[in-house]
Amino acid sequence: MRSFLVASSCAALIFVGAGVLPASVALASDTPDVEDPHAKGAHGGSASGAHGGAHGGEHKGPPKHINWFSLDYGKGKKHANPPIGWAIVNFIILLYLLYRFGAKPFSAYLRRRSEETKKALEEAKELRRRAQERLAEIEGKLAGLDDEIARIRKDVAADAERERDAIIARAEQEAERMIENADRTIEEEVNRARHRLESQVVSAAVAAAEKLLLEKATEADRTRLDEEFLSDFAGSAESATSTSPSGGSN
């Protein structure tokens, strides 16, 4: 507000100066010319005309009064120019009206603009602070990027080594299981082959013995063998008959 009043005062002074200067110039232009009494020659004759041309000159008359508030002005009148006082009064009234009706809105506008500017500066500072923090964070991450890459490579290598060991262990276990199954299968096949071979050998031996007996035995040997077989069969039947009642009574 103080700057507004100072600016208004300066404008008023400029306006007054601008009004007074043309009036002064106009008054000076309207003043009649007066001959200088010393223009006549002191030496007389033609010499006086020469000196009169050299020393003679025109001088302005006394200035007229400045028209402050008189509305009676014009050519041939006391005041040739418009009144300056009313112009000053009008300007003062204009300043008052500007102050009366424009000071508060203008002050509010300036205050609002000041607050908006302050808020914008604070927001800019906050954005700058966040940007600096973000930049520092990014720079820190970039600085530790090599270490992070090295750590990731180390972890990947360790995981790959563990997976390789696990695969090798599973393969070894599977190989051992397959070997055990193969050994068991081979052993079973060998046992079956042995049993078949033994059966074949026994069968061949029995057949050979039977053939040998048939070829070597006489009629008396055959009769004796038949009698022994019949007696053995009869003894078996009697023993079975003797044991049947005891088993039924029990």
Radius of gyration of the chain, Cα coordinates, nearest whole angstrom: 75
- Please report whether residue 102 resides in a domain: yes
Q: Give the per-residue pLDDT at 131.
A: 95
Domain-embedded: residue 127: no
Confidence of residue 108 (pLDDT cuts 50, 70, 90): confident
Residue 165 lies in a domain: no
- Token couple for 125: 């500072």
Mean pLDDT of the chain: 73
Q: What is the pLDDT of residues 139-167, one digit of tens each?
A: 888 877 888 888 898 999 999 999 999 99
Measure the CA–CA gap between 36 and 40, rounded to whole angstroms. 8
- Mean pLDDT in residue range 1-23: 48
Q: What is the predicted pLDDT for the residue at 82?
A: 82
Domain for residue 93, yes or no? yes
Question: Could you tell me which residue, 167 or 18, shows the higher pLDDT?
Answer: 167
Residues in CB range of 61: below 8 A, 6 or more apart: 31, 32, 33, 34
Q: Is residue 244 part of a domain?
A: no
Pairwise CA distance, residues 223 & 213, whole Å:
13
More confident residue, 42 or 216: 216
Distance CA 82, CA 91 (A): 15
Higher pLDDT, 247 or 229: 229
Instruction: Examine the pLDDT at 168 and tell me if it is beyond 90.
Output: yes
Q: Supply the pLDDT for residue 114.
A: 92
Please count the structural domains in the chain.
1
Structural domain span for residue 102: 2-117
Position 147 scores a pLDDT of: 82
Least confident stretch, 106-120, 178-192, 210-224: 210-224
Residue 48, pLDDT above cutoff 70: no
Least confident of 28-37, 66-75, 216-225, 238-247: 28-37
Could you tell me if residue 133 is inside a domain? no
Backbone angles phi, psi at 163, to 5 degrees: -65, -40
Residue 240 in any domain: the answer is no
**Residue 51's pLDDT is what?**
43
* pTM assigned to the model: 0.29
**83 within domain boundaries:** yes
Q: What is the pLDDT of residue 25?
A: 40
Burial class (CB in 10 A: 0-12, 13-18, 19+), 67: buried
| Residue 241 banded pLDDT, cuts 50, 70, 90 | low
